[in-house]
Amino acid sequence: MSQRISAQRMSWGLLALSFLLLAFGLGVLALRSSQTGVTQSVLQPLAYLPWVAAVAAAAMFLQAMLLHCRVSPWLLPFSFFFASVGLVEIARLKPILFIPQLRWLLIGMAAFLVVLRCGRRIVELTSYQYMLGLSCLVLLALPLLFGTEIGGSRNWLVLGPVQVQPSEFSKILLVLFLSAYLADHEEVLTSAKHRFLLFRLPPLRFIAPLLCIWGMAILMFVVARDLGSALLFFGIAVFMTYMATGSRSYVFIALLVFVAAAAVSYALFGHVRVRFDIWLNPWADPNGMAYQVVQSLFAFGSGGVWGTGFAHGHPGLIPEVHTDFIFAAIAEELGLIGSLTLLLGYAVFFLIGIRTALSGETMERILLSAGVSVVFLLQAFIIMAGVTKFLPLTGITLPFVSYGGSSMVSSYLLLGLLAVLSQRKGGHAA
């Protein structure tokens, strides 16, 4: 009992820390504009303070509600840590997007509340597994048919004034589908009968839906040039299959398929070849194709251990720094300390998700919460690895940190799912 209360106190502390971070960051920016005498700055405290206050009030209300419903106390403070690091960097890099990002954060929290309210229904949705799988594929195919190309990837839908990235939302459906499907077919998939070379496989008709998703991911990768989402989808499928079956055969087969697909697309498509060559040697063309990656590496280098100090670096040189490359800006201005804290944040967040999964009661709930945790971890890993040139660069957002409406709302929807699953016995339905 006392343990729970101390955890509650600590979670309020974490939330307060993220407000402190936001206040310090905005304070630095306000003082800087008053010092340099730029009066026509886009960032007017009177304009954004009401929004910041609204976000803070909404966060405190939600946290109080979560504690009342006996949901895990850590989820919201963690998302707020990520969001406040992102907010200060966005305010510094693209001041014009600061208020929109605050607005997206509010919309995200509203979405979180909705998921929390009808949480049980959403978990029940997993009974309609093939509908989930089909709607996931339809959502993926929409931008291929009606999409618009923004920033080199054909994965956007323009709905009136807002631009939506359907792949951000279809990953939620993918996790729901996979958890339902794998929980239902757990036994068939583990009791493999057919021997094929070194691998043991169940009959083809049981793995067909999985192959279908993998095929779709590769198709997206080819047609939409959306390498990041393709990698994420593929990774989710592999991780969740392994977690459900514990069989290494699937992982090996998936890796073989992946290597084959990568080799074929390297040979066939120019944009894949460019990405790969940049990764192998960015110094061949540092001012042309590899400009983004090279600038990002410079940002990491000039940041050092303690960083250049907030608002004292030059991360503005990197193209797309407020979305995909925000981690490079954080590393430059807040240094190794800032980026390590962010990395550790994602790792501990994953640990909390896995603890939720282990206390789950049915296979479906276990797989669902583990799958949601994997989505966050994998997404953060893919983009951090891309920005630091650990893996070839693939554009994808850093969950909760990057600027982006679709990304923010879908991350909060996933967080809502995790919150519903972490609700302990005896908690009131929200």
DSSP string, 144-211: HHH-EEETTEEEEEEETTEEE-HHHHHHHHHHHHHHHHHHHTHHHHHS--EEETTEEE--HHHHHHHH
Q: Interacting stretch for other proteins, rule CB under 8 A, among 134-142, 172-180, 273-281, 356-364?
A: 356-364
Smallest gap from Cβ 370 to other proteins, in A, equals 15
Q: Residue 236, Cβ neighbours under 10 Å: how many?
A: 22
For other proteins, the binding residues in 115-174 under the rule CB under 8 A are: none
- Residue span 360-379 as binding mask against other proteins, x where in contact by CB under 8 A, dash where not: -xxx----------------
Radius of gyration of the chain (CA): 22
Residue 5, interface with other proteins (CB under 8 A)? Answer: no
282 vs 307 by CB, closer to other proteins:
307
25 touches other proteins (CB under 8 A): yes
Q: Residues 6 or more apart from 391 whose CB is under 8 A from it?
A: 279, 382, 385
Which H helix or E strand runs over 187? Answer: helix 186-190
Q: Which of 74, 112, 169, 234 binds other proteins (CB under 8 A)?
A: 74
**Residue among 202, 345, 353, 405 that touches other proteins (CB under 8 A):** 345
Closer CB to other proteins, residue 309 or residue 316? 309
Q: By the 8 A CB rule, do 322 and 403 touch?
A: yes
Decide: is 34 part of the binding site for other proteins (CB under 8 A).
Answer: yes
Position 313 contacts other proteins (CB under 8 A) = no
Residue 273 CB neighbour total at 10 angstroms: 13
CA atoms within 13 A on the CB side of 27: 6
| Number of CB atoms found within 10 A of residue 190's CB | 13
Selected from 340, 424, 427, 429, the binder of other proteins by CB under 8 A is: 340
Binding of other proteins at residue 355 (CB under 8 A)? Answer: yes
Q: Which residue has the tokens 């079956």?
A: 245
Q: List contacts with other proteins (CB under 8 A).
A: 7, 10, 13-14, 17, 20-21, 24-25, 27-28, 31-32, 34-35, 74, 81, 88, 306-307, 309-310, 312, 334, 337-338, 340-341, 344-345, 348, 351-352, 355, 361-363
